Structure 1
Amino acid sequence: MRPEPTVVVAAIIHDGGRILRTRRRPSIRAGGLWEFPGGKVEAGETAAVALEREIREELNIGIRAGAVLCETDTPTAAGVIRLVCMWATLEDAEPVLSTDHDLLEWVDPSSISPEGWCEPDWYAVGLLRSGATPD
Structure 2
Amino acid sequence: MWVKVPPALVIAAANKTIAVIYAVVGPDDPQGVASSPLSLVVGKYTEPAYPKPVITQAQAGDPYPLLDVSKLTANANVTVQPWTGIAVGQMLWLNAVSSPPIKLTKWQGFRITSTGVQSTVIGLAALQTLDHD
Q: TM-score, normalised by structure 2?
A: 0.27
Q: Name the structure with the higher helix share.
A: 1
What TM-score, normalized by structure 1, do the two folds share? Answer: 0.27
Q: Which has the higher strand share?
A: 1
Indicate the structure whose relative CO is greater, using CA pairs within 8 Å and at least 6 residues apart: 1
* Rg larger in structure: 2
